[in-house]
Amino acid sequence: MPHHSAPHPAAPQQPPSAAPDAPDDSAAAGIRRPDLRPFMAAFPTGVSIVTTLDSGATPHGLTCSSVASVALEPPTLVVCIRAASPTLSVLLAQGHFALNLLHERARGTSDLFASGAPDRFDRTEWRLPLGAGGPHLTEDAHAVADCAVVRTVAFGDHTAVFAEVGRVTVRDDPQPLLYGLRRYALWSEAASAPPPAAALPAVPLVRPAATAEGGTRVIR
């Protein structure tokens, strides 16, 4: 399957970092692909909702757990969204979005936005601060990042959206909602787990030797 990169229209053109992959003929050859879902289900993550507005100021959004930081300077993250998602189409057309990290009491909102219900924004409290990339879910998010799309990479049935973060809003007492093995968990319960009964033996500290380079002592 070809792997190509398409910069967002508002972003400067960038040369591809690598040549496109050769077409994948495994399906035609009858090779059975592994199911990646059980593997990724064993990697618990936080839960987020991506939100944006179309040209008519109608809100769009979806639940997303495929989120990662890319760089601190410039502050950049990536979200991976199903290529057929209507929210993705609006997000790419507008070039900005808000990433709402859900707190542990927002399981119902996570399910609501995963369902694709057309009235999901009518059933959720949200606001649009000045300069926001998309609706902020004021009652359900413990942190929000306002993002501008800088690059996209389409691969298979998903699109990776790279975005520069323009503003971050974080509550003083974040309590993230967690998801893994196809079920939710609470950060407060995970964080309150007692430490292991027996600690691992301490490893003796070995002090490295010092060498001289140009009259300066360097510790390796």
CATH of the domain at 142: 2.30.110.10
What was the pLDDT predicted at 85? 95
Specify if 220 maps to a domain.
no
Specify if 203 maps to a domain.
no
The residue segments making up the domain with residue 34 are 4-12+29-187
User: pLDDT, tens digit, for every residue of 181-213?
Assistant: 778 888 788 777 777 666 556 656 555 454 444
- SS3 readout for the chain: CCCEEECCCCCCCCCCCCCCCCCCCCCCCCCCCCCCHHHHHCCCEECEEEEEECCCCCEEEEEECCEEEEEECCEEEEEEEECCCHHHHHHHHHCEEEEEEEECCCHHHHHHHHHCCCCCCCCCCCECCCCCCCCECCCCEEEEEEEEEEEEEEECCEEEEEEEEEEEEECCCCCEEEEECCEEEEHHHHHCCCCCCCCCCCCCCCCCCEEEECCEEEEC
User: 157 versus 9: which is more confidently predicted?
Assistant: 157
What was the pLDDT predicted at 180? 85
Q: Name the band, by pLDDT with cuts 50, 70 and 90, for residue 24.
A: low
What's the mean pLDDT in 16-31?
Answer: 50
Specify if 101 maps to a domain.
yes
What's the mean pLDDT in 145-161?
Answer: 95
User: 42 and 31 in contact (C-beta within 8 Å)?
Assistant: no
Kindly state the greatest CA–CA separation across the chain. Answer: 71
Residue 103 clears pLDDT 50, i.e. is over it = yes
Average pLDDT, the chain: 80
Specify if 91 maps to a domain.
yes
User: pLDDT, tens digit, for every residue of 38-93?
Assistant: 777 766 789 999 999 999 999 999 999 899 999 999 999 999 999 999 999 999 99
Is the full-model pTM beyond 0.75? no
Specify if 41 maps to a domain.
yes
Specify if 202 maps to a domain.
no
Specify if 197 maps to a domain.
no
Specify if 210 maps to a domain.
no
Number of separate domains in the chain: 1
